[in-house]
Structure 1
Amino acid sequence: MSTNSPKSCRLIRPSRQYHGKQGFDYGEAISAESAGAESICMHILTIPPGGKAKAHLHESHETAIYMLRGQSAMWFGEQLEQHMQIEEGDFLYIPAGMPHLPYNPSDADSCTAIIARTDPNEQESVMLLPHLDAKFKRIQP
Protein backbone atom coordinates (compact mmCIF):
# COMPACT_ATOMS: atom_id res chain seq x y z
CA MET A 1 0.00 0.00 0.00
CA SER A 2 1.38 3.38 -0.95
CA THR A 3 1.98 5.83 1.87
CA ASN A 4 1.16 8.64 -0.59
CA SER A 5 -2.50 7.62 -0.91
CA PRO A 6 -5.04 9.86 0.83
CA LYS A 7 -6.50 8.74 4.14
CA SER A 8 -9.88 7.09 3.77
CA CYS A 9 -12.00 4.32 5.21
CA ARG A 10 -11.06 0.89 3.91
CA LEU A 11 -13.13 -2.28 3.79
CA ILE A 12 -11.01 -5.41 4.09
CA ARG A 13 -12.50 -8.73 3.05
CA PRO A 14 -10.01 -11.33 4.25
CA SER A 15 -8.79 -13.23 1.26
CA ARG A 16 -5.25 -14.21 2.16
CA GLN A 17 -3.32 -15.69 5.01
CA TYR A 18 0.27 -15.13 5.97
CA HIS A 19 2.67 -17.23 8.01
CA GLY A 20 3.88 -15.33 11.06
CA LYS A 21 7.29 -15.57 12.69
CA GLN A 22 5.47 -17.03 15.71
CA GLY A 23 4.70 -20.19 13.72
CA PHE A 24 0.97 -19.63 13.08
CA ASP A 25 -1.00 -18.76 9.94
CA TYR A 26 -2.99 -15.53 10.35
CA GLY A 27 -5.97 -14.25 8.39
CA GLU A 28 -5.11 -10.83 6.98
CA ALA A 29 -7.28 -8.00 8.23
CA ILE A 30 -6.29 -4.45 9.28
CA SER A 31 -2.62 -3.43 9.10
CA ALA A 32 -0.26 -0.93 7.55
CA GLU A 33 0.12 -3.38 4.67
CA SER A 34 -3.58 -3.94 3.97
CA ALA A 35 -5.23 -0.66 4.96
CA GLY A 36 -2.53 1.92 5.54
CA ALA A 37 -3.07 1.75 9.33
CA GLU A 38 -0.70 3.90 11.36
CA SER A 39 -1.22 2.66 14.94
CA ILE A 40 -3.11 -0.63 14.94
CA CYS A 41 -3.01 -4.12 13.46
CA MET A 42 -5.93 -6.56 13.72
CA HIS A 43 -6.21 -10.09 12.42
CA ILE A 44 -7.85 -13.45 13.03
CA LEU A 45 -6.02 -16.53 14.20
CA THR A 46 -7.20 -20.13 14.23
CA ILE A 47 -4.94 -22.48 16.16
CA PRO A 48 -5.32 -26.12 15.10
CA PRO A 49 -5.66 -28.87 17.72
CA GLY A 50 -2.38 -29.22 19.60
CA GLY A 51 -0.86 -26.19 17.83
CA LYS A 52 1.57 -23.92 19.65
CA ALA A 53 3.44 -20.73 18.85
CA LYS A 54 7.12 -20.07 19.25
CA ALA A 55 7.94 -18.13 22.42
CA HIS A 56 7.97 -14.44 21.54
CA LEU A 57 7.17 -10.90 22.58
CA HIS A 58 6.05 -7.72 20.83
CA GLU A 59 8.55 -4.94 21.49
CA SER A 60 6.90 -1.69 22.55
CA HIS A 61 3.41 -2.83 21.48
CA GLU A 62 0.37 -3.94 23.47
CA THR A 63 -1.90 -6.79 22.37
CA ALA A 64 -5.63 -7.28 22.92
CA ILE A 65 -7.27 -10.64 22.16
CA TYR A 66 -10.89 -11.78 22.04
CA MET A 67 -11.42 -15.56 22.13
CA LEU A 68 -14.10 -16.02 19.53
CA ARG A 69 -14.36 -19.80 19.54
CA GLY A 70 -12.92 -22.62 21.59
CA GLN A 71 -10.29 -22.56 24.30
CA SER A 72 -6.63 -21.63 24.32
CA ALA A 73 -3.89 -21.47 26.92
CA MET A 74 -0.73 -19.45 27.32
CA TRP A 75 2.55 -19.51 29.20
CA PHE A 76 3.81 -16.00 29.97
CA GLY A 77 6.28 -14.07 32.13
CA GLU A 78 9.99 -13.37 31.87
CA GLN A 79 10.77 -17.12 31.93
CA LEU A 80 7.28 -18.28 30.85
CA GLU A 81 6.71 -19.27 34.46
CA GLN A 82 3.02 -18.26 34.59
CA HIS A 83 0.10 -20.01 32.92
CA MET A 84 -3.52 -19.19 32.07
CA GLN A 85 -6.50 -20.68 30.23
CA ILE A 86 -8.49 -18.46 27.84
CA GLU A 87 -12.11 -19.46 27.32
CA GLU A 88 -14.53 -18.60 24.53
CA GLY A 89 -15.84 -15.07 25.14
CA ASP A 90 -12.79 -13.99 27.22
CA PHE A 91 -10.74 -10.88 26.54
CA LEU A 92 -6.98 -11.01 27.12
CA TYR A 93 -4.52 -8.13 27.46
CA ILE A 94 -0.77 -8.66 26.91
CA PRO A 95 1.45 -5.69 27.82
CA ALA A 96 4.26 -4.56 25.55
CA GLY A 97 7.44 -6.60 25.92
CA MET A 98 5.77 -9.53 27.75
CA PRO A 99 7.20 -12.93 26.72
CA HIS A 100 4.40 -15.38 25.91
CA LEU A 101 3.75 -18.71 24.25
CA PRO A 102 0.12 -19.39 23.30
CA TYR A 103 -1.11 -22.85 22.39
CA ASN A 104 -4.23 -24.94 21.86
CA PRO A 105 -4.53 -27.59 24.59
CA SER A 106 -7.22 -29.56 22.72
CA ASP A 107 -6.34 -32.70 20.78
CA ALA A 108 -9.58 -32.46 18.79
CA ASP A 109 -10.86 -28.87 18.42
CA SER A 110 -9.35 -25.75 16.91
CA CYS A 111 -9.76 -22.35 18.58
CA THR A 112 -10.16 -18.94 16.95
CA ALA A 113 -9.28 -15.49 18.26
CA ILE A 114 -9.39 -11.92 17.03
CA ILE A 115 -6.12 -10.14 17.82
CA ALA A 116 -5.33 -6.42 17.83
CA ARG A 117 -1.92 -4.83 18.46
CA THR A 118 -0.73 -1.24 18.67
CA ASP A 119 1.85 -2.06 15.98
CA PRO A 120 0.34 -1.38 12.55
CA ASN A 121 2.80 -3.78 10.89
CA GLU A 122 1.80 -7.42 10.94
CA GLN A 123 5.18 -8.81 12.00
CA GLU A 124 7.62 -5.96 12.56
CA SER A 125 7.59 -5.97 16.38
CA VAL A 126 7.69 -9.75 16.80
CA MET A 127 10.84 -10.82 18.64
CA LEU A 128 11.38 -14.58 18.87
CA LEU A 129 12.77 -16.01 22.11
CA PRO A 130 14.37 -19.36 21.16
CA HIS A 131 16.07 -19.70 24.55
CA LEU A 132 12.57 -20.01 26.09
CA ASP A 133 11.31 -22.41 23.41
CA ALA A 134 13.79 -25.01 24.56
CA LYS A 135 11.91 -25.26 27.87
CA PHE A 136 8.64 -26.01 26.09
CA LYS A 137 9.33 -28.65 23.50
CA ARG A 138 6.31 -30.47 24.84
CA ILE A 139 3.61 -28.24 26.32
CA GLN A 140 1.86 -29.49 29.42
CA PRO A 141 0.16 -27.13 31.89
Structure 2
Amino acid sequence: MRGRAMTSEPRVSRISPGDRRAGQLTPGMTREEAVSADGLWAGLVTTDAGATSGWHHHGAYETAIYVVDGVFLIQFGAGGSDAIEARGGDFLHVPRGVVHRETNPGAEPSHVVVARSGHGEPVKNVDGPA
Protein backbone atom coordinates (compact mmCIF):
# COMPACT_ATOMS: atom_id res chain seq x y z
CA MET A 1 0.00 0.00 0.00
CA ARG A 2 1.38 3.40 -0.95
CA GLY A 3 2.03 6.01 1.73
CA ARG A 4 3.30 3.34 4.10
CA ALA A 5 6.86 3.18 5.39
CA MET A 6 8.63 -0.16 5.18
CA THR A 7 8.54 -1.33 8.80
CA SER A 8 7.82 -4.57 10.57
CA GLU A 9 4.65 -3.29 12.23
CA PRO A 10 1.55 -1.82 10.59
CA ARG A 11 1.35 1.96 10.50
CA VAL A 12 -1.36 4.47 9.81
CA SER A 13 -0.81 6.27 6.50
CA ARG A 14 -2.06 9.48 4.92
CA ILE A 15 -2.79 9.64 1.21
CA SER A 16 -2.81 13.25 0.00
CA PRO A 17 -4.44 14.31 -3.29
CA GLY A 18 -1.08 14.21 -5.07
CA ASP A 19 -0.50 10.64 -3.86
CA ARG A 20 -3.65 9.19 -5.43
CA ARG A 21 -3.24 7.11 -8.58
CA ALA A 22 -5.47 6.90 -11.63
CA GLY A 23 -7.97 4.10 -11.10
CA GLN A 24 -9.54 1.78 -13.65
CA LEU A 25 -11.32 3.52 -16.49
CA THR A 26 -15.03 3.51 -17.10
CA PRO A 27 -16.23 5.93 -19.79
CA GLY A 28 -17.70 9.12 -18.29
CA MET A 29 -15.97 8.99 -14.90
CA THR A 30 -12.55 9.49 -13.35
CA ARG A 31 -11.41 7.22 -10.51
CA GLU A 32 -8.53 8.17 -8.20
CA GLU A 33 -7.26 5.28 -6.11
CA ALA A 34 -6.26 6.21 -2.57
CA VAL A 35 -6.02 2.77 -0.92
CA SER A 36 -5.58 -0.67 -2.42
CA ALA A 37 -4.92 -3.29 0.24
CA ASP A 38 -5.85 -6.93 0.76
CA GLY A 39 -9.61 -7.00 0.13
CA LEU A 40 -10.05 -3.21 0.28
CA TRP A 41 -10.22 -0.45 -2.32
CA ALA A 42 -10.99 3.21 -1.58
CA GLY A 43 -10.85 6.32 -3.68
CA LEU A 44 -12.46 9.44 -5.10
CA VAL A 45 -14.68 9.32 -8.19
CA THR A 46 -15.55 12.40 -10.24
CA THR A 47 -18.37 12.48 -12.78
CA ASP A 48 -18.49 15.58 -14.97
CA ALA A 49 -21.70 17.60 -15.32
CA GLY A 50 -23.98 15.95 -17.86
CA ALA A 51 -21.80 12.83 -18.13
CA THR A 52 -23.03 9.25 -17.98
CA SER A 53 -20.63 6.42 -17.22
CA GLY A 54 -20.54 3.15 -19.08
CA TRP A 55 -22.30 0.12 -17.61
CA HIS A 56 -20.14 -1.80 -15.16
CA HIS A 57 -20.14 -3.87 -11.98
CA HIS A 58 -17.66 -4.52 -9.20
CA GLY A 59 -17.46 -8.30 -9.29
CA ALA A 60 -17.17 -9.80 -5.80
CA TYR A 61 -16.86 -6.38 -4.14
CA GLU A 62 -19.47 -4.77 -1.88
CA THR A 63 -19.41 -1.02 -2.52
CA ALA A 64 -20.23 1.87 -0.19
CA ILE A 65 -20.49 5.35 -1.71
CA TYR A 66 -20.57 8.70 0.09
CA VAL A 67 -21.67 11.65 -2.05
CA VAL A 68 -19.46 14.62 -1.18
CA ASP A 69 -21.11 17.10 -3.54
CA GLY A 70 -23.09 17.35 -6.73
CA VAL A 71 -25.85 15.10 -8.01
CA PHE A 72 -25.22 11.38 -8.45
CA LEU A 73 -27.84 9.30 -10.26
CA ILE A 74 -27.28 5.54 -10.30
CA GLN A 75 -29.23 3.32 -12.71
CA PHE A 76 -29.52 -0.46 -12.27
CA GLY A 77 -32.04 -3.29 -12.54
CA ALA A 78 -33.51 -5.04 -15.57
CA GLY A 79 -32.67 -2.92 -18.59
CA GLY A 80 -31.48 -0.13 -16.27
CA SER A 81 -35.09 0.61 -15.30
CA ASP A 82 -34.39 1.41 -11.62
CA ALA A 83 -32.69 4.63 -10.53
CA ILE A 84 -31.74 6.40 -7.30
CA GLU A 85 -30.65 10.04 -7.13
CA ALA A 86 -28.25 10.97 -4.34
CA ARG A 87 -26.82 14.34 -3.27
CA GLY A 88 -24.15 15.63 -0.91
CA GLY A 89 -24.36 13.84 2.45
CA ASP A 90 -26.09 10.71 1.10
CA PHE A 91 -24.67 7.19 1.26
CA LEU A 92 -25.39 4.42 -1.26
CA HIS A 93 -24.73 0.68 -1.06
CA VAL A 94 -24.14 -1.28 -4.28
CA PRO A 95 -24.16 -5.05 -3.66
CA ARG A 96 -21.56 -7.23 -5.35
CA GLY A 97 -22.20 -7.99 -9.01
CA VAL A 98 -24.97 -5.41 -9.56
CA VAL A 99 -24.64 -3.95 -13.06
CA HIS A 100 -25.09 -0.18 -12.94
CA ARG A 101 -24.06 3.17 -14.37
CA GLU A 102 -23.82 6.67 -12.97
CA THR A 103 -25.11 9.90 -14.44
CA ASN A 104 -24.51 13.44 -13.26
CA PRO A 105 -27.62 15.43 -14.28
CA GLY A 106 -26.33 18.51 -12.44
CA ALA A 107 -24.52 21.61 -13.70
CA GLU A 108 -21.35 20.93 -11.64
CA PRO A 109 -19.08 17.86 -11.33
CA SER A 110 -20.09 15.34 -8.68
CA HIS A 111 -17.54 13.89 -6.26
CA VAL A 112 -18.05 10.67 -4.33
CA VAL A 113 -15.85 8.71 -1.95
CA VAL A 114 -15.99 5.00 -2.69
CA ALA A 115 -14.93 2.12 -0.43
CA ARG A 116 -15.04 -1.48 -1.65
CA SER A 117 -14.52 -4.72 0.23
CA GLY A 118 -13.98 -7.96 -1.64
CA HIS A 119 -11.54 -9.66 -3.96
CA GLY A 120 -10.69 -9.92 -7.65
CA GLU A 121 -10.96 -7.17 -10.23
CA PRO A 122 -12.77 -4.19 -8.67
CA VAL A 123 -14.24 -2.90 -11.97
CA LYS A 124 -15.70 -4.88 -14.87
CA ASN A 125 -17.07 -2.85 -17.77
CA VAL A 126 -20.02 -4.53 -19.53
CA ASP A 127 -22.48 -3.80 -22.36
CA GLY A 128 -25.43 -3.26 -20.01
CA PRO A 129 -27.77 -4.93 -17.55
CA ALA A 130 -29.69 -8.07 -18.49
TM norm. shorter chain > 0.5: yes
Note the aligned Cα RMSD (angstroms): 2.2
Q: How many residues align?
A: 122
TM-score normalised according to structure 2 size: 0.81
Shift in Å, 1:70? 1.3
Q: CA deviation at 1:30?
A: 1.2
Unaligned runs of 5+ in 2: none
- Structure 1 residues 68-101: Cα deviation after superposition (integer angstroms, max 9, x where no partner): 1111101112432211111211100000000100
Q: Which structure dedicates a bigger proportion of its chain to strand?
A: 2
The change in CA–CA distance for 1:59 and 1:19 in structure 2 (over 3 A counts) is: closer
CA distance in 2: counterparts of 1:52 and 1:118, whole angstroms: 24
Deviation at 1:55, TM superposition (A): 0.2
Unaligned runs of 5+ residues in structure 1 are 32-36, 134-141
Match for 2:122: what amino acid?
A: S
Structure 1 68/120 Cα, relative in aligned 2: closer, same or farther at 3 Å? Answer: farther
Q: Could you give the per-residue CA deviations for residues 19-60 of structure 1, whole angstroms, max 9, x where no partner exists?
A: 5332222223111xxxxx112111111211111211011111
Write out aligned runs for 1:1-141 (5 A): 6=8, 7-15=10-18, 16-18=20-22, 20-23=24-27, 24-31=29-36, 37-106=37-106, 108-119=107-118, 124-130=121-127, 132=128
The alignment-based identity, stated in percent, is: 28
